[in-house]
């Protein structure tokens, strides 16, 4: 594994204070859940443990809000009490494609494979390891043009497909892909849709996903620092061109990676 010194690592010194509350479907609600000199509160959403970190003498919970939720109010459990958090409306772009059926249909053998892989991927994305986390600010895993296609709702021949749950970053095949934050490699594989993939667990239910890689440069169980190279940009899996699909998950739900990337890097 190669380590690259990055000027942008200094950005990791920024902490949650710089992260605004962004409570929309696919966003992150930042909630003050108590003084940091008290025990770490147990925070849950939909029964799942939620990331909690210290910031400015407070415990702050970062709750991933599902893309498919209706705007309104969600309930967060903080210890024995319930907190209401209001979720703002946000409209995501719709894309309607009309394609020959043979390009949409998937064989039974492929469906079986997709089902097996889905279990492995879901297990990795739903992990929760209760290790302390100082900041959820991330660095861009690859330099390149970032699309704003998170949340894009796609229809093939009027049939709804799963919304796009990540950020696509265009770059040429072979460009190094960096771990966006320190963590442990918890899954690597060559999957039907995602192609060659690496999944990194950063602790507290914060997971990052790197897809369509040309090559994987790490092994499961390996510890990575932010900025460590984990593979190369590629076009494996179901893609039309070389790019990195970068996904971020909190409490098992996909959130918009743009929220966690430092904007000042541009
Ligand atoms: Zn993508």
Distance, in Å, from the CA atom of 186 to the CA atom of 203, rounded to the nearest integer, reads 11
**The total number of structural domains that make up the chain:** 2
Q: Do the Cβ atoms of 128 and 48 come closer than 8 Å?
A: yes
176 C-alpha vs ligand 1 centroid, how far in Å? 17
Are residues 74 and 166 located together in one domain of the fold?
no
How would you class 20 by CB atoms within 10 Å of its CB: exposed for 0-12, middle for 13-18, buried for 19 or more? exposed
35 C-alpha vs ligand 1 centroid, how far in Å? 39
Q: Do the Cβ atoms of 53 and 133 come closer than 8 Å?
A: yes
- Which domain-ending residue is among 38, 59, 87? 87
Domain assignment present for 139: yes
Which residues have CB less than 5 Å away from ligand 1 (the ion)?
A: 166, 168, 245
Q: Report strand pairing: 253-255 vs 243-250.
A: antiparallel
246 C-alpha vs ligand 1 centroid, how far in Å? 7
Are residues 62 and 189 located together in one domain of the fold?
no
Mean pLDDT score of the chain: 89
Are residues 78 and 102 located together in one domain of the fold?
no
What does the pLDDT look like over 78-114, one tens digit per residue?
999 999 999 999 999 998 888 777 667 788 999 999 9
Are residues 43 and 162 located together in one domain of the fold?
no
Residue 91 host element (H or E): none
* Rounded average pLDDT over 20-49: 94
Are residues 79 and 135 located together in one domain of the fold?
no
Are residues 117 and 232 located together in one domain of the fold?
yes
169 C-alpha vs ligand 1 centroid, how far in Å? 8
Are residues 153 and 260 located together in one domain of the fold?
yes
Q: Which of 151, 207, 152 is nearest to 180 (CA)?
A: 207
Domain assignment present for 5: no
What does the pLDDT look like over 108-154, one tens digit per residue?
999 999 999 999 999 999 999 999 999 999 999 998 888 778 999 98
Are residues 159 and 130 located together in one domain of the fold?
yes
Range of the domain at 57: 14-87
Q: Determine the pLDDT at residue 90.
A: 93
Are residues 80 and 98 located together in one domain of the fold?
no
- Which domain-ending residue is among 41, 60, 87? 87
Domain assignment present for 227: yes
Q: In what order do the strands lie in the sheet with 43-45?
A: 48-49, 43-45, 72-78, 81-87
């Amino acid at each position: 594994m190669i380590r690259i010194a990055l000027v942008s690592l200094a950005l990791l010194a920024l902490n949650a204070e710089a992260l605004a509350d962004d409570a929309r479907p696919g966003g992150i609600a930042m909630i003050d859940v108590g003084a940091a000199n008290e025990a770490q509160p147990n925070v849950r959403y939909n029964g799942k443990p939620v990331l909690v970190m210290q910031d400015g003498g407070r415990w702050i919970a970062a709750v991933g809000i599902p893309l498919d939720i209706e705007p309104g109010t969600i309930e967060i459990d903080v210890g024995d009490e319930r907190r209401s958090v209001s979720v703002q409306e946000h409209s995501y772009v719709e894309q309607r494609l009309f394609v020959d059926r043979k390009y949409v249909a998937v064989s039974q053998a492929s469906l079986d494979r997709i089902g097996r892989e889905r279990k492995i991927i879901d297990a990795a994305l739903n992990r929760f390891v209760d290790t302390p986390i100082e900041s959820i600010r991330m660095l861009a895993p690859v330099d390149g043009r970032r699309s704003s296609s998170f949340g894009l709702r796609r229809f093939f021949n009027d049939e709804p497909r799963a919304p796009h749950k990540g950020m696509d970053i265009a770059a040429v095949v072979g460009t190094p892909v960096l771990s966006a934050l320190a963590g442990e490699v918890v899954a690597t594989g060559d999957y039907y849709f995602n192609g060659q993939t690496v999944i990194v667990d950063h602790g507290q239910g914060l997971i990052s996903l790197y897809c369509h890689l040309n090559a994987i440069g790490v092994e499961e169980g390996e510890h990575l620092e932010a900025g460590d190279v984990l593979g190369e940009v590629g076009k494996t899996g179901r893609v039309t061109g070389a790019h990195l699909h970068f996904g971020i998950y909190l409490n098992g739900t996909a959130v918009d990676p743009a929220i966690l990337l430092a904007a000042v890097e541009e």
